[in-house]
């Protein structure tokens, strides 16, 4: 095989963009598409001159593809991916891999059993700034974590929320900002700071007329006793994004597009005990890290890497099982917010399944919906 034959399932906004990439790369060939909405499936099929299906099972069983990219609303990611693994296909799933941790578990299990390649569209991992931050953390230069901060402001209009029947409903999406916009950042945050052991969160719909949350604020507790703070919302048009990890030996700060690393002269735990002077203050160096912005980033890099993993066994940028962390984190925020209590990670699967079932019962069909399947122009611009 010199090219991976790709089928894209769910060819709305994001899936359409994936079709264009799969068609343009020399490692992949777009061979089929599927969408439950026949007019969408037909339009994409005709545009790309490939077979189209309305039933994803038929696409998977068609023999037309070696791998699928799943870009349906989140609830369907596990069901479709598991069926693909069971039928011998490789899977690249959109984020988040699942709405609930229990479904993510099943998906990861099915991937393991199949031995097929499983990756996730966490394309922000390809950004040089995060690659550099990860290098610094992994080098041990920060030392044991003492504190973390992640402030992730987004903005979405009411028209955005009204652009799809599934959006911002418990039944259609299983959450709001935390499950739609935030997973990319949560993935990076947990990659750099680790997964907290406990989360105490508040969630609410502040600005929008939606049943799920548009604002989340959470207090985090790590295994070693370190504390952290996390905030996200779709109510804030002005940034910057802020991520900070303070360790025993140094501190890393990402603010917008800048990365700064502070290196302490001594570990703070030692210095605090040793320093004889009443007003002693620890010396540190400050380094603004140079970022090479001429590196290719984004969805195309993840799709290329997925294809190379299938063709030549290249190491994945995002391994499928790593998708569980962000689902643990976001489920913990929703569970804690809804129950008004601190929750432990790994979260109780049954408790979360029961909560979701309850929330889905309260889900109401959208009153105002003007269906639009258009990718965020900021994403489209980068392709
Ligand atoms: N990685 C990124 O940068 C990024 C950006 C946007 C969206 N996404 C993810 O992509 C997914 C889709 O989001 P979108 O904005 O493209 O939504 P969308 O509504 O524009 O498109 C989803 C499409 O899936 C189809 N669909 C629904 N159920 C299906 C099924 N069972 N089988 C086949 N098709 C089905 C719908 O008819 C629709 O055409 C979401 O999980 C979202 O989180 C990722």
| Total domains present in the chain | 2
Alpha helices in the chain (DSSP H): 13-24, 38-48, 56-61, 76-86, 101-114, 128-138, 158-161, 177-180, 183-193, 268-274, 299-312, 323-339, 349-362, 377-381
Structure tokens, 189? 């945050």
My answer on whether 135 and 97 are in the same domain is no
- Domain assignment present for 375: no
CATH number of 19's domain: 3.40.50.720
Tens-place pLDDT, residues 133-168 = 999 999 999 999 999 999 999 999 999 998 888 889
CA-closest residue to ligand 1 atom 25 = 10
Closest to 302 in 3D by CA, of 372, 183, 383: 383
Tell whether the model's pLDDT for residue 201 goes beyond 90: yes
Separation CA 303–CA 4 (nearest Å)? 10
What gap in Å lies between CA 284 and CA 302, rounded to an integer?
A: 37
In 179-335, DSSP assigns E strands to: 198-204, 215-221, 227-233, 242-247, 250-255, 258-264, 284-288
The answer as to whether 32 is a domain residue is yes
Tell me, yes or no, whether 169 and 73 share the same domain. Answer: no
Determine whether the shortest distance from the Cβ of 56 to ligand 1 is under 6 A.
yes
Structure confidence at residue 302 (pLDDT) = 98
Distance CA 219, CA 198 (A): 8
Residue 273: φ, ψ to 5°: -80, -35
Instruction: Give the structural domain span for 32.
Output: 4-124+297-318
pTM of the model: 0.95
Chain segment 78-134, per-residue pLDDT in tens: 999 999 999 999 999 999 999 999 999 999 999 999 999 999 999 999 999 999 999
Separation CA 74–CA 80 (nearest Å)? 10
The neighbour count for residue 77, using CB atoms within 10 Å, is 27
Q: Is 73 in the pocket of ligand 1 (CB under 6 A)?
A: yes
Ligand 1 centroid to Cα of residue 105, in Å, is: 21
User: Is 13 a member of any domain?
Assistant: yes
Is residue 31 within a helix (H) or strand (E), and if so which, with residue range? strand 28-34
Helix (H, G, I), strand (E, B) or coil at 326: helix
Domain shared by 247 and 156, yes or no = yes
Q: What is the pLDDT of residue 202?
A: 98
Q: Is 14 in the pocket of ligand 1 (CB under 6 A)?
A: yes
On whether residue 73 sits in a domain, the answer given is yes
Ligand 1 pocket, residue 183 CB under 6 Å: no
pLDDT tens per residue across span 278-294: 999 999 999 999 998 88
């Amino acid at each position: 095989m010199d090219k991976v034959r790709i089928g894209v399932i769910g060819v709305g906004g994001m899936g359409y963009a994936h079709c264009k990439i799969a068609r343009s790369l020399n490692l992949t060939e777009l061979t089929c598409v599927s969408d439950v909405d026949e007019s969408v499936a037909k339009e994409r099929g005709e545009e790309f001159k490939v077979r189209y299906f309305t039933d994803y099972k038929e696409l998977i069983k068609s023999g037309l593809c070696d791998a699928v990219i799943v870009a349906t609303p989140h609830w369907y990611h596990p069901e479709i991916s598991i069926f693909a693994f069971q039928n011998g296909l490789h899977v690249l799933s959109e984020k988040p891999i699942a709405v609930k941790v229990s479904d993510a578990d099943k998906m990861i299990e099915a991937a393991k059993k199949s031995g097929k390649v499983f990756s996730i569209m966490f394309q922000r991992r390809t950004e040089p700034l995060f690659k550099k931050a990860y290098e610094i953390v992994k080098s041990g230069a920060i030392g044991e974590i003492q504190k973390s901060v992640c402030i992730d402001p987004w903005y979405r209009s009411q028209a955005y929320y009204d652009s799809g029947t599934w959006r911002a409903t418990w039944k259609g999406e299983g959450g709001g900002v935390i499950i739609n916009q935030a997973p990319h950042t949560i993935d990076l945050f947990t990659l750099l700071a680790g997964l907290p052991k406990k989360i105490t969160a508040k969630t609410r719909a502040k600005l929008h007329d939606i049943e799920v949350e548009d604002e989340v604020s959470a207090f985090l507790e790590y295994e070693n006793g370190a504390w952290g703070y996390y905030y996200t919302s779709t109510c804030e048009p002005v940034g910057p994004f802020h991520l900070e990890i303070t360790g025993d030996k140094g501190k890393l700060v990402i603010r917008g597009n800048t990365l700064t690393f502070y290196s302490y002269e001594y570990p703070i735990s030692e210095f605090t005990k040793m320093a004889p002077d009443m007003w002693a203050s620890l010396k540190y160096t400050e380094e603004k890290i140079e970022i090479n912005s001429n590196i290719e980033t984004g969805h195309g890099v993840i799709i290329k890497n997925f294809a190379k993993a299938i063709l030549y066994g290249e190491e994945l940028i995002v391994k499928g099982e790593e998708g569980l962390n962000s689902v643990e984190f976001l489920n913990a925020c929703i569970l804690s917010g809804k129950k008004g209590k601190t929750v432990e990670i790994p979260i109780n699967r049954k408790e979360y399944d029961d909560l979701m079932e309850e929330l889905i019962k309260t889900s109401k069909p959208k009153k105002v919906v003007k269906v639009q399947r258009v990718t965020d122009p900021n994403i489209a611009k980068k392709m």
